[in-house]
Amino acid sequence: MDTQRSSFTAVVTGASSAIGQQVALQLAERGWRVIAIGRDQEALAELGRSSALITPRAADLLTDDLAALLPARVDALVHAAGISPDGGVERTDAEDWSRVFALNVTAGAQLVRYALPSLRRSRGTIVFVNSGAGTAARPRNTPYAASKHALRALANGLRGEEEAHGVRVSTVYPGPTDTPMFTGDVDRSDLIRPSSVAAAILTAITASEDVQLTDIHVRPRRELSW
């Protein structure tokens, strides 16, 4: 795919910080138009000022009209938005369970649903930003891990559904990354940089037409425990 043509358009959720923000910046650097979706209006405005190719769209993915967020053309959709309840099953009530699945899984699925006609026309790419918790649950984040396991199933099932239409579906599994969501008691200099995860996401989006990168695991150089 020729990534230097500004006619390509990507939609990125979670774009007001961390991984989503870096994806938006790196795509714009390659000449893509980017619809940057997030909740922090000030951060989005700053992101928009960084490039004329970035269009900020402040939105709450749990309550707003998701179809209205999408442009007429979509070549790539990156669902990087996510939340993690603070605590395990004992401390997570039904409302928190609903919120974590609604944002981490359902919002991404619905955005894909609305974008599919355009993605099929462009033979585009969907990238779900998952987590190491999406393959191995830990006691400290069971609700989050459960949602990420569901997101992994969504990606794998969707890939089979869309194979005949030429839409690629990739999952990126970042390990411990220096984002506001990560609160582990470790030396933060050992954490993965959000820009490094974003680079892996761009690799999936810009892969040659004959392949799709189905699962990309991004791990720190030194494995961490906390």
Using one digit for the tens of pLDDT, what is the confidence trace for 34-79? 999 999 999 999 999 999 999 999 999 999 999 999 999 999 999 9
The model's pTM: 0.94
Sheet with 76-79, side-by-side order of all strands: 54-58, 33-38, 9-13, 76-79, 125-129, 168-174, 215-218
In the block, which residue shows the tokens 């967020």?
A: 69
Helix crossing, 107-122 with 142-162: angle to 10°?
A: 20
SS3 48: helix
Query: 189: which residues sit within 8 A by CB, 6+ positions away?
Result: none
Tell me which amino acid residue 27 is: L
pLDDT digits (tens, 9 = 90+) for 81-127: 999 987 789 999 999 999 999 999 999 999 999 999 999 999 999 99
Tokens read off for 224: 């961490």
| Residues taking part in catalysis | 144
Query: Which domains, ranges and CATH numbers included, belong to the chain?
Result: 9-218 (3.40.50.720)
How far is it, in rounded angstroms, from Cα 132 to Cα 176?
A: 8
How far is it, in rounded angstroms, from Cα 27 to Cα 226?
A: 33
Query: 26: which residues sit within 8 A by CB, 6+ positions away?
Result: 195, 198, 199, 202
How far is it, in rounded angstroms, from Cα 99 to Cα 88?
A: 15
Mean pLDDT, rounded, for 30-37: 98
Q: What percent of the chain has pLDDT over 90?
A: 83
pLDDT, residue 226, reads 63
Is residue 143 within 8 A of residue 121, CB to CB? The reply is no
Mean pLDDT of the chain, nearest integer: 93
